[in-house]
Amino acid sequence: MQQYIGVKLVNAEPQKAKKDCGTHNSDDGYRVRYADGYESWSPRDVFDRAYLPLEVNTNLKTDAPSISQGMVDSFIQSVDIQTMGDKCTVVRAVLRNGFEIVESSACVSAENYDENLGAKICLKKIKDKIWFLLGFLLQTAVHGIDLPLPGGGNLT
């Protein structure tokens, strides 16, 4: 059997399980409404592993789904900073989903090296990549993976 990956945009709210469900080990979960109006209930741990909550990006002029700085910042689970040689900073960020991004920054002269400045530069590059990746994820959730091309046709 072939494996698939899926991403959806849903509306959800915390809700206790109905006692007559009989299939849930926990009362904590979410009532979920899909784009077609279908509603279901999902256990909290299952829901939290599958969905990233959207935050309003107050810098935009739209109420359409978007990525916020808070979402980008909170997607970084841990950061490791290391100096290599006498003028290079390497930063490894582990994201919430286990994905890792590594960036480096270096200066010309060892006398001008500052690990904190190098780490700041690397973290900006990492956050720029997270904006890109979360934007891709959101685009897929909102529009799916098989959009019509201008002038007709599809990519597949």
pLDDT 10s digits, 100-120: 999 999 999 999 999 999 999
Please compute the mean of the pLDDT values over residues 83-96 and round it to a whole number. Answer: 98
Q: What tokens does 59 get?
A: 């810098």
pLDDT recorded at residue 113: 98
Q: How far is CA 38 from CA 12, 14, 50, 139, in A?
A: 12, 17, 17, 21
Q: What tokens does 10 get?
A: 């849903």
pLDDT digits (tens, 9 = 90+) for 3-34: 676 788 899 999 988 665 555 455 799 999 99
Nearest alpha carbon to residue 126 among 80, 86, 60, 65: 80
Please compute the mean of the pLDDT values over residues 24-45 and round it to a whole number. Answer: 86
Least confident of 53-57, 96-100, 117-121: 53-57
Half-sphere exposure of 32 (CA within 13 A, CB side): 18
DSSP 77: E
pLDDT recorded at residue 16: 86
Q: Residue 22 region, left (φ>0) first, then alpha (ψ -120 to 50), else beta?
A: left
Residues belonging to the chain: 156
| Interatomic CA distance for residues 12 and 47, integer angstroms | 10
Instruction: Assess contact for 65 and 138: CB atoms under 8 A.
Output: yes
pLDDT recorded at residue 22: 54
| Interatomic CA distance for residues 14 and 31, integer angstroms | 6
Reported as a pLDDT band with limits 50, 70 and 90, residue 1 is confident
Element (H, E) at 29: strand 28-33
| Interatomic CA distance for residues 51 and 98, integer angstroms | 15
The answer, as to whether pTM is greater than 0.85, is no
Share of the chain above pLDDT 70, in %: 89
